[in-house]
Amino acid sequence: MYDLFFRQVFRRMDPEQAHHLAVRWIRLVARVPVLRTFVAAFLAPRAKELRTEAFGLRLHSPFGLAAGFDKNAVAIDGMAMLGFDHVEIGTVTGQAQPGNPKKRLFRLVADRALINRMGFNNDGSLAVAARLASREPVFRTVVGVNIGKTKVVPEADAVADYVTSAERLAPHADYLVVNVSSPNTPGLRNLQATEALRPLLTAVREAADRVAPARRVPLLVKIAPDLADADVDAVADLAVELGLDGIIATNTTIAREGLGLRSAPDLVGEAGGLSGAPLKARSLEVLRRLYARVGDRVTLVGVGGVEDAEDAWQRILAGATLVQGYSAFIYQGPFWGRAIHKGLVARLRTSPYATLADAVGADVRNTVNGTDSGNTTVGRAGAAG
């Protein structure tokens, strides 16, 4: 049903206009008490097998919404209603900014992918903090806050800019994410180098502790899939050294070659970060590498190319405690979360693992130990690489 609606309505619209229309509809439904309860009961089923603990937080399931969809914290309850058991808002910057000129969002329908060069368009950390402070939650969901660098701020002043956002937003965040991996803010990815990343993460950690002394706000970093393997290892080692709570792997990619893209060359050639199905293989590879390096010392969040329950399950086996998605939601619609939840329950029940926690990283551990994971769902037909 949604596929027909997408082809007849959303596909004919500008992608950014369609996004804003969808957000308005979701927010409207979430404002109607009886209606939102009915929708959540159907689209956000709860299964005790999927209960997850991460960063000391308890979640209904490991599945959540990646940053980028709800940049300004306006649709948290609506997305929880649709089955996202944690919602990561942002990216939020120290100053409000309009982002890059339009047109800046493109659908690669043939590849089940998106290209965006949004440029961190958002209301700014002051406005978003006020919105979070005044929020009266309808559904219990974990809210992550993803922060990035304001475009006009020089790279030399980036730490102070991140600290400003952290000071404003940490008191309202269940966890805080330092985004140094978007390709759409000039110079941002330079901050992934450990010599730049160490002082940045240290300063943000100190800022969060200063403004939220009553609790330790979990701190994560989000990295790009385009990092060389040695740099992935360096970030992993730095996370352990600094006592970081988590790493999110991965953001969008600037790569185009070797991904088997079928969309028109002029569309593929648009500047920006590519997300969706073509990112699947590299994102999973980075996740496996991180888990092999950090094990259970750092919580990993898998994102990038997650389309269905099998993809989510593979992320868990590769070391992810939490799994996020975004691009596939555009193509699969409001029933997507329900399908992920039901599919994960089915896979867990037929696996050799008693709990999801037991399954986290099992493929990596078993590879190291030279044993079979017992996963009977590997090799699904139609999986994108």
pLDDT in single tens digits along all 385 residues of the chain: 899 989 999 999 999 999 999 999 999 999 999 999 999 999 999 999 999 999 999 999 999 999 999 999 999 999 999 999 999 999 999 999 999 999 999 999 999 999 999 999 999 999 999 999 999 999 999 999 999 999 999 999 999 999 999 999 999 999 999 999 999 999 999 999 999 999 999 999 999 999 999 999 999 999 999 999 999 999 999 999 999 999 999 999 999 999 999 999 999 999 999 999 999 999 999 999 999 999 999 999 999 999 999 999 999 999 999 999 999 999 999 999 999 999 999 999 999 999 999 999 999 999 877 754 444 333 322 323 3
Annotation: binding site for substrate: 71, 116-120, 179, 184, 251-252
How much is the pLDDT for 269?
A: 97
* Contact criterion met (CB below 8 Å) for 99 and 119: yes
How much is the pLDDT for 371?
A: 56
Please confirm, yes or no, whether 182 is among the known catalytic residues. yes
How much is the pLDDT for 70?
A: 98
* Contact criterion met (CB below 8 Å) for 290 and 246: no
Tokens of 68: 């980028």
What are the angstrom distances between the C-alpha of 368 and each of 191, 299, 331, 360? 32, 19, 37, 14
Question: What is the four-CA torsion angle of 376, 379, 382, 384, rounded to 10 degrees?
Answer: 120
| Neighbouring C-alpha atoms within 13 Å toward the C-beta of 40 | 22
Burial class of residue 245 (count of CB atoms within 10 Å of its CB; 0-12, 13-18, 19+)? buried
Annotation: binding site: 67-71, 91, 116-120, 146, 179, 184, 222, 250-252, 276, 305, 326-327
Q: What is the CATH number of domain 2-369?
A: 3.20.20.70
Instruction: Kindly name the residue from 125, 182, 275, 283 that is annotated as catalytic.
Output: 182
What is the C-alpha separation between 172 and 217, in angstroms, rounded? Answer: 9
How much is the pLDDT for 384?
A: 30
Annotation: binding site for FMN: 67-71, 91, 146, 179, 222, 250, 276, 305, 326-327
How much is the pLDDT for 1?
A: 84
